Amino acid sequence: MTSEIARTGKGIPLIRSSDVVLILDTPKGRGVFASAFIPSGTLIETCPVLVLDQQQNVDHIEKTELFHYT
**9 in a domain, yes or no?**
no
- Boundaries of domain holding 27: 14-68
**pLDDT beyond 90 at 66:** no
Q: What is the pLDDT of residue 61?
A: 85
**Mean local confidence (pLDDT), 34-54:** 87
Is residue 1 domain-resident?
no
Does some domain include residue 2? no
Percent of the chain, pLDDT > 90?
16
- What is the pTM (predicted TM-score) of this model? 0.47
pLDDT in tens, 19-43: 888 899 889 988 889 999 999 998 8
Tell whether 5 is covered by a domain.
no
Nearest of 35, 44, 49 to residue 15 by alpha carbon = 44
Domain count across the chain: 1
